Amino acid sequence: MTTSPAAKAAGPCAGQIWLFSSIGKKTVVAATGILLVAFVVGHLLGNLTIFLGPDALNSYAAKLHSLGPALWAIRAALLGILVAHIYFTMLLWKENHAARPQKYIASNPVGTTVFARTMRLSGLIVLAFVIFHLAHFTVRVVDPSFATMTTTLDGHKVHDVYRMVVTGFSNGPVVLVYVVGLFLLTFHLSHGIGSLFQTLGITNRRIRRTYEIGGRALAWALYAGYISIPVSIFFFGLGKGAIQ
């Protein structure tokens, strides 16, 4: 009888073969994508506490910091997820480029959306934005004064995140960077969220459209949520009084 084609190709490690197959790599990108989306959602929910006043945000931030090593573990995991997301995407890019070295002279994209076609560009810009964002509010090198802002909460001295955010978003160019950066993230997620159901194989032809629309709606809802903070601060003076 025949030997299984699978058995022939299997070699020493089936897991590795799966991981570096076209579908395996895509699955990694999609699975890390889910985790990153989950982070983006959680991060937003935390950030929205700003609308509940300085104490709410600061106590949320303090709680996160009190996690200590666990926080660092989460950060490391997030970084790892992001690196995997980017690394496997790069592998895919390289192969995809090799599979279609010659473009059509009369180029005419059909069936695709602008979100899908700009995934690489939007991804790169989002990466740059994330680096800026970390430098801005986490490492606080954009404005070193952020690091020294403190306040008292329940008798403890804590970092005054509220003041930092309000001060940070009072700066026009910074707000513009956030509005644009987050817009690109939305672009990225507009294709990404709906698409990961397809990649992970948890869709069918009837439900796919719903996922796509739902994914896009979630992406834009996240956008609305995120930019509500800089927009409220910059244009509507949110928190200006509280930090006087």
Partner 1 sequence: MKFHLKVWRQKDPKSPGRLEDYEADNIPADASFLEMLDIVNAGLTGKNIEPIQFESDCREGICGNCSLTINGVPHGPGRGTTCQLYMRKFRDGDTITIEPFRADPFPVQRDLVVNRAAFDRIIQAGGFISERSGSAPDANSVPIPKTTADEAMDAAACIGCGACAAACPNGSAMLFVSAKVAHLGLLPQGKPEKDRRVLGMVRQMDQEGFGNCSNYYACEAVCPANVPAAFIARMNREFTAASAKEMAGLPV
Task: Give residue 13's region: left, alpha or beta (phi > 0; psi -120 to 50).
Answer: beta
Residue 203 binds partner 1 (CB under 8 A)? yes
Q: From residue 112 to residue 151, what is the string marking binding to partner 1 with x (rule CB under 8 A)?
A: x---xx-x--------------------------------
Q: Compute CA 14 distance to the chain's CA centroid, rounded to the nearest angstrom.
A: 31
Q: Compute CA 15 distance to the chain's CA centroid, rounded to the nearest angstrom.
A: 27
Minimum CB distance to partner 1, residue 8 (Å): 8
Which of residues 22 and 148 has its CB atom nearest to partner 1 in the complex? 22
Residue 199 binds partner 1 (CB under 8 A)? yes
**Sites for partner 1 among residues 57-96 (CB under 8 A):** 92, 95-96
CB distance 181 to 134 below 8 Å: no
41 contacts: CB under 8 Å, gap ≥ 6: 222
Q: Which helix (H) or strand (E) holds 158?
A: strand 156-159
Residue 24 binds partner 1 (CB under 8 A)? yes
State the residues that interact with partner 1 by CB under 8 A: 2, 4-7, 9-10, 14-15, 17-18, 21-27, 92, 95-96, 98-112, 116-117, 119, 191, 195, 197-205, 208
